[in-house]
Amino acid sequence: MGLAERRAVERFKSEDYPGWLARIEEAARFPVPVEVVWEELAVNDFADDYADLFSKVYFQPLVDALAAVTIDELGTTAARAGIKKIIIRNTGQYHSISGFTFVDGIVTLDHQPNSNVDYVDERAKGLRQILESGL
C-alpha cells in the first residue's frame, strides 16, 4: 500500500467511517463491534475511489441487510443474541458473497473492494439470507 492509498484509507476512516458505524448500529439496533482490516481494503490504483468502493461493497449492503433482519422485534432480539462481531476485510480471494459468512456469532464480509462494485442490492440480499439462516 503506497502513500496515496494510506492517505485515502485514513481519510475514509476519519470522515466517512464514523457515519457508517452509526448507520450500522442504527440498523442493528444495538452497538455491535465492527472490526475493519483497513490495510487489506486498500488496493493499489483505486485510492481516489475508496469512498465509493468501500461504501458500495461493504457498508451499504451491511446496513441494508441488518435493517432487513431487525425489521421486527423477533429479528432484533435474534440479532442482539446472535451477532457478536462484524469483520470487514479483503483477503483477495472473493469477488462475490461467497466470502460472506456468519459463524459462531461473527459476521465476516470478505470481498475485493474493486470487484462487482455496483451489485449492492445483491450483496445485501445475500448477507440478509446468511444472517437469517444463522440466527
pLDDT at 54: 97
Element (H, E) at 7: helix 3-11
Q: Give the model's pLDDT for residue 26.
A: 98
pLDDT of residue 52: 96
Give the chain's end-to-end CA distance (angstroms, integer). 37
- Asked if the model's pLDDT at residue 103 lies above 80, the reply is yes
Mean pLDDT over 104-111 rounds to 98
Q: How many domains does the chain fold into?
A: 1
Q: And the C-alpha cell for 9?
A: 484509507
Positive or negative, the CA dihedral 108, 130, 27, 95 is positive
> Over the stretch 29-60, which tens digit does the pLDDT of each residue have?
999 999 999 999 998 889 999 999 999 999 99
How far apart are the C-alpha atoms of 133 and 10, rounded to whole Å? Answer: 35
Query: The domain containing residue 107 runs over which residues?
Result: 3-134
Q: Does the reported pTM lie above 0.75?
A: yes
115 touches 65 (CB < 8 A)? no
